[in-house]
Chain A
Amino acid sequence: MATITTNTVRKYKDLDLNFISHPVRKDVNKLLDEDAVIGSIRNLLQTSHYERLFQPSLGSNVKRILFENMDPISESALKREIIQTLTNFEPRVSVNSITIKSNYENNSYDLSLNFTVLNTSEQVSIQFSLKRDR
């Protein structure tokens, strides 16, 4: 008798908003699992409140903080804002640690974010920098 195995672990599959086509299939690229989650975090941090139609609370205040004076207060505000945003809008992520360092020469913040993707229990660490653009 054949057995049917069902996989209860959900795979995260998302659209890559860069719309880079797949080199072979020439189809829109897919982001899988942790890449999908990282893409989502990036979207959330880049979206300001009131930017999305009919969903004023969606997004974060990161852009506004980047235009504040660069000092320890802004640093901690940025940290709090990122944790808050991920808690509110990204249920797949459990943040383990976040470190922020002001990079005065580049007028940017260097961030290191360590989190666990919930369905894989895999720890992911990403480094990125936030710099005001305009």
Chain B
Amino acid sequence: MADRLNVTELDFDSIKTNLKNFLKQQSEFQDYDFDGSGLSVLLDVLSYNTHYNAYYLNAIANESFLESASLRESVVSHAKRLGYTPRSSRAARARVNITVIANDNLPETLVIPKGYEFLSSSFDGVAYKFVTLDAYTATKVNSQFVFNNVDIYEGELIQYSVQNSYSSNPNQIFEVPDVNVDTSKLSVLVRDTPSSSNYEVYTVAVNALNISSSSKVFYLNETKESTYNIQFGDNVLSKKIPDGSVVIMTYLSTSGSSANKANNFVSTSPIGAYSSLIVNSVSAASGGSDKETVDEIKRAAPLSLLSQNRAVTKNDYIRLIQQNYPALEAVNVWGGEDNEPPIYGKVFVSAKPKLGFELTDTEKDFIKQNILKPISILTVTPEIINVDYNYLKIQTNVFYDKAKTILSESEIKQGIKTNIVNFCNQNLNQFNSYFKYSNLETLIDSFNSSIISNEVELFVGKKFRPDLTTSNSYVLDFGFELNRGSTNDNFYSSPSFIMVDEDGVQRECFFEEIPSSFTGLESVIINNPGYGYTRTPTVNIIGDGTGAKAYADITNGKLESIIVTDPGIGYTTAAIQIINHPDDTTGNLAKATAVLQGRYGKIRIFYFKTDSISGQSTKAILRSRENEGVIGQIDYFLGKITINDFNPIAVSNDFGDLMINIKPKINIIQSKRNKMLVLDSDDPSSITVNTIQIE
């Protein structure tokens, strides 16, 4: 039986082979497998044509689905079906205060008009133009006009007018002729005739729920050419604009994210009659972002359909914040019921900006009032809290065989550092992340075949900025279990700070941990007081040590407390067993947990004292006369460090930040809620690589 022609292949060579196999079954022309033959020329044409069509069909099939489409216009079209309009570029916003020195003869009020221009100082070789999008008014006070908190936006304010004609534009679609438009700053006015002074304001339609036949709205869509167009209604679904009317679009043409961080603005023209102006920045430009990319649209469009533009679930919040405020690298949201301690009726938002570590107050306010308030549930108040950063410090000793590599020692060090930074960029700098110690070790081992082994030492640091004027207490919450100190290399602080000792001498100081060893039972915490106890129950301590003793106190049938009479010795674990008195038949449910000595550690401050005669430097404890110099406590189990009555005079750091570094107890560090584990790649002490040659 003759073979059938195989039609499964798509590429040129396979198609040609299939055709040749097919031709083998005939004897009319037999030169199909000689390259020079006329038949071969014919086969080439046929195969090329088949290949071309197959490719074309494949591309069409790909473009038919959101997941596989690659042309922007296809992706945009799929997104449109899901009710999603891709985000345009967003202009960066800065805030300035303007002081105008007034001439007493002139009017009492002064107006900064909409569209008034500023120029930023040159930034990456470009000075960006910023404009006001509102008019601001100030009254004269002490021969000055002061405009506070003027919002200025990066870009050029452009007005574009087009006359409507039913005959040439029956669908009432008008293109905004600029690919760099910020559609959130687009305003649309319609005049009935070119000469008319009356106009109507049209706003963008967000959804179809509250639109009537007279609603003055327009519909925004992205076009094939990556610009946007606006479409007016048909007098059924929103108002139709009259024939011959003039559509005036005012929009901002922006450079998007490249203007972020622009600062130090100067005005380019006088305000009214005044050219003597002082412009002070309140906040540098931030929040600028580029047009949504094809990949971003693919991800966002289905999620937008799921959230229906309402912030209800956790993911709705995350999605809507990211969509409307794209200058964020990571966003996390949790309900008040999951907070510690629980706060009901609130939803907490924490976000890391793409640039820097903290959101400014302006940004927080914008997210809360303009993004979340309009779409969140009435009784739920959004609350934006700062990200609580844990800074990772990685120290690694790498053992390698020099004979097995052509890389120099410094190249190995640099290569490992780059690998660690990449690893951290992928796994950290985000919420709800896990940092796995073992992954890092494997990564270092796999850098080069000459590496035999490595030891990683991990510290996690926390920054705080002490008040230099008054004595204050500080709580640093790491959020994971800390390593209980047994040697002095578990804990360090940097940089140094200046404090006055008992004799009134200023000393350059550091924090240190007082290592505590395991011994016995420190206390017993009641988890559940139970009920119905008529007689005092017996408390048994079950553990690997010996000698611990405790007794219980009952009040009104409940367990009031358990008091440790003898801490015992040698415990590393202990459990509490509560046994009813033989005569007590009703007592039930009481539960308690043992706290071993060593759950808490102590912190004190030390300095180096130089002997004036011998010149030798010795370590001394600050204020050792009061309470042995103890200034704070470490709760290893909860990962909390408390520092009490801390009053330094100065901190040896430009920003006044102190960092306390400690080893984690566990090898997997999880970041919950507003906690984020980051590697500060600008900090040279964050990665230390020591190489050790093995012969």
Footprint of B on A, CB under 8 Å?
Answer: 10-17, 30-31, 36, 39-41, 43-44, 47, 52-55, 58, 89-92
Contact = CB atoms under 8 A, between A and B. Distances in A.
A47 B38 CA distance: 12
B548 to A, nearest CB: 84
Contact of B36 (A10, A15, A44, A54): A44
Contacts of A11: 30
Contacts of B38: 14-17, 31, 39-40, 43
- Assign chain B's interface to a size class: 10 to 19
B44 A91 contact: no
Interface in B27-42: 27-31, 34-39, 41-42
A58 B35 contact: yes
Contact of B37 (A14, A52, A53, A54): A14
Interface of B: 12-13, 27-31, 34-39, 41-42, 44, 48, 51
Contacts of A15: 29, 31, 37-39, 42
17 contacts: A13-B27, A13-B28, A14-B30, A14-B34, A14-B38, A14-B39, A15-B39, A30-B29, A31-B38, A36-B37, A39-B37, A39-B38, A40-B36, A44-B36, A54-B51, A58-B35, A89-B36
B34 A91 contact: yes
A80 to B, nearest CB: 18
A79 B44 CA distance: 28
Contacts of B13: 54
Contact of A90 (B34, B48, B51): B34
Contacts of B27: 13
Contacts of A17: 38, 41
Nearest to A14: B31
Nearest to B49: A53
Contact of A40 (B12, B28, B30, B37): B37
Nearest to A40: B36
Contact of A44 (B30, B35, B39, B44): B35
Contacts of B30: 10-14
A41 B35 CA distance: 10
Contacts of B44: 52-53, 55
Contacts of B28: 13, 30
Given A15-B42, A90-B35, A91-B34, 12 more contacts: A12-B30, A14-B29, A14-B30, A14-B38, A17-B41, A41-B36, A43-B36, A43-B37, A43-B38, A44-B36, A53-B44, A90-B36
Nearest to B33: A91
A40 B34 contact: yes
A113 B194 CA distance: 84
B12 A54 contact: yes
A90 B34 CA distance: 7
Contacts of A12: 30-31
Most buried by A among B38, B39, B42: B38
Contacts of A30: 28-29
Nearest to B27: A13
A39 B31 CA distance: 11
Contacts of A54: 12-13, 48, 51
A54 B52 CA distance: 12
Nearest to A43: B36
Nearest to A17: B38
A91 to B, nearest CB: 7
A30 B30 CA distance: 11
